[in-house]
């Protein structure tokens, strides 16, 4: 079964306090849903049209698990705290195997 991944690239951070509060709620929500943080990089080398900002990569055992984690009540609570504190590109992608 193919793994699932959350890929989140922060374009701008308008409110670092909201990001910190989001992190406090999101980390346990992701772990409870089976997610594993692979990178929360603030060191990014961007190429082409890439954005050299904070990039987060989280792995799940399956794509369906990744989708369900995003919809979970615990993660929705974290998103409510984040609100408009950032502009980010958030994607859930399926691994190759």
What are the sequence ranges of the domains in the chain? 4-94
3-state helix, strand, coil split of the chain in percent (to 5) is: 35, 30, 30
| 55 in Cβ contact with 38 (< 8 Å) | no
Does the pLDDT of residue 66 top 90, yes or no? yes
pLDDT tens figures, 12-34: 999 999 999 999 999 999 999 99
pLDDT tens figures, 30-39: 999 999 999 9
| CATH code for the domain defined by 4-94 | 3.30.70.100
Rounded to whole angstroms, the Cα distance separating 43 from 66 reads 25
Residue that the structure tokens 């991944």 belong to: 5
pTM of the model: 0.91
Q: Work out the pLDDT band at 61, boundaries 50, 70, 90.
A: very high
| 35 in Cβ contact with 6 (< 8 Å) | yes
């Amino acid at each position: 079964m193919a793994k699932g991944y959350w890929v989140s690239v922060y374009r701008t951070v308008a409110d670092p306090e909201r990001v910190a509060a989001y992190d406090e709620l999101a980390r346990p929500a992701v772990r409870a849903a089976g997610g594993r943080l692979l990178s929360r990089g603030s060191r990014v080398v961007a190429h082409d049209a890439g954005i050299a900002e904070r990039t987060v990569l989280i792995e799940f055992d399956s794509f369906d698990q990744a989708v369900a984690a995003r919809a979970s009540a615990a993660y929705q609570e974290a998103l409510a705290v984040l609100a408009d504190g950032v502009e980010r590109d958030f994607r859930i992608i399926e691994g190759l195997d």
